[in-house]
Amino acid sequence: VKITVSKKEIEYKFEANSGERVLYAGLRQGLGLPHECATGTCGSCKARLKSGELKQLWPDAPGAKSCKSSKNEFLMCQNTAQSDCEVSFRGKLADQLESGYLPNYYEGRVVDANYLTADVIRILVEFEQVVPFRAGQFVVVNVEGLEGGRAYSMVNCAGGTTLEFIVKQLPEGGFSSWLFDSPRLNSKLSIFGALGNATLGADEGKDILCITGGSGIAGIIALLTQAVDDNYFDKNTGHLFFGIKAEQDLFFRDRLVALVEKSNRKLQVTITFSMGDIPKFDYAGKEDINYLSGNVTPVAMQQMSGQLQDNLVFLAGPPGMVDDAIRRLVIDAAFPVHNIRYDKFG
């Protein structure tokens, strides 16, 4: 079926395959349709149907709450076209996808899985083809028997045939149950992606500040690994604040220490513990990482006080954490919103 998008009197046309989500069809063909989560929660892909017929895949999607049926509003990521359709929307239409890679569909299978903590699993998924992406991007993962896709950020920093993910267990969550209830080695996964613009160009020339909580570290590790590989820290500094609850929730400490060392300590890492005391680690004589008590965002704001303005800020983690960080940066610290890039994990 044919979809026509009208924007400021210009028309863009693209084909959608049978059963394909309107958003994915447009993105796949290089049209920069507005979106954030691509999975029905954020509402940023809201559009208006001017003619044609759609099928809603998830009527209860949280992002659809702001869609007025009286105005024929719908979520492009949660609807497929049943006939040729004409749509319009308020958001910005990017000329082309900023990442430079067109997203597509890929089939893979889980080749490795291990627990990093009691409720975080790391999986490796192997694909027959190279999946191209930029450090900091994510894909939408689908598994058989589970309604709807889930977004997961790649820990790897560049495209390849094996992608690494970390998944934090959400009690009674659909994908969490699929992954945590039984060993999933050799299980098939299909993905759509890569998506997301929380990426860093090699020559952006700004210091970077990353604030993240829990599994939000996935895409941030990718981004910082890329920065180290690009020698980004020869000319700029980096600060990472990684928030977890307590010692038993800590993972990837070794990877973070390695990044600090490879950056010649131009990257500084602080791990914050929101509950209990700061645990004692075996420093082996080196204090590569700082450890502080408190919630990650207030700690980061306090530590960065007076040195925020020249940074590009990356935020990743639970929506509450990301929204709070944006509020503190923009409202409390008058930080320019266009220098903030984020992924809200919900």
Ligand X SMILES: Cc1cc2nc3c(=O)[nH]c(=O)nc-3n(C[C@H](O)[C@H](O)[C@H](O)COP(=O)(O)OP(=O)(O)OC[C@H]3O[C@@H](n4cnc5c(N)ncnc54)[C@H](O)[C@@H]3O)c2cc1C
Residues that bind ligand X (CB under 6 A): 37, 39-41, 58, 138, 147-148, 150-153, 165-168, 170, 173-176, 196, 215, 218, 343-346
User: 10 Å Cβ neighbour count for 201?
Assistant: 12
CA distance 77 to 64: 10
37 part of the interface to ligand FES, by CB under 6 A: yes
3-state secondary structure the chain: CEEEEEECCEEEEEECCCCCEHHHHHHHCCCECCCCCCCCCCCCCEEEEEECCEEECCCCCHHHHHCCHHHCEEEHHHEEECCCEEEECCCCCECCCCCCCCCEEEEEEEEEEEEEECCEEEEEEEEEEEEEEECCCEEEEECCCCCCCEEEECCCCEEEEEEEEEEECCCCCHHHHHHHHCCCCCCEEEEEEEECCCCCCCCCCCEEEEEEEHHHHHHHHHHHHHHHHCCHHHCCCEEEEEEECCHHHCCCHHHHHHHHHHCCCCEEEEEEECCCCCCCCCCCCCCCEEEEECCHHHHHHHHCCCCCCCEEEEEEECHHHHHHHHHHHHHHCCCCHHHEEEEECC
CB nearer ligand FES, residue 44 or residue 212:
44
Does position 41 interact with ligand FES (CB under 6 A)? The reply is yes
The tokens describing 281, both together, are 């680690």
Stretch of 37-45, 65-73, 190-198, 271-279 lying at the interface with ligand FES (CB under 6 A): 37-45
For the bound state, the minimum distance from the C-beta of residue 278 to ligand X, rounded and expressed in Å, comes to 25
346's contact among ligand X, ligand FES, none, with CB below 5 to 8 A by partner kind, is ligand X
38 binds ligand FES (CB under 6 A): yes
Least Cβ distance, residue 34 to ligand FES (angstroms): 8
**Total number of residues that touch ligand FES (CB under 6 A):** 13
Is residue 318 within the footprint of ligand FES (CB under 6 A)?
Answer: no
What part of residues 50-69 is at the interface with ligand FES (CB under 6 A)?
A: 63
Q: Which is nearer to ligand X, 266 or 344 (CB)?
A: 344
Q: Which of 25, 26, 31, 35 binds ligand FES (CB under 6 A)?
A: 35
Minimal distance, residue 175 CB to ligand FES, in Å: 17
- Nearer to ligand X by Cβ, of 77 and 87: the residue is 77
Among ligand X, ligand FES, none, what does residue 175 contact (CB within 5–8 Å per kind)? Answer: ligand X
Bridge partners of 258, per DSSP, are none
By CB under 6 A, tell whether 155 contacts ligand FES: no
Choice from 67, 75, 211, 250 touching ligand FES (CB under 6 A): 75
Query: Shortest distance, CB of residue 310 to ligand X, whole angstroms?
Result: 26
36 binds ligand FES (CB under 6 A): yes
Which of ligand X, ligand FES, none interacts with 341 (beta carbon under 5 to 8 A by kind)? none
Q: Does 45 bind ligand FES (CB under 6 A)?
A: yes
Separation of alpha carbons 88 and 72, rounded Å: 11
Nearer to ligand X, 79 or 236 (CB): 79
Residues within the interface to ligand FES (CB under 6 A):
35-38, 40-45, 63, 75, 77
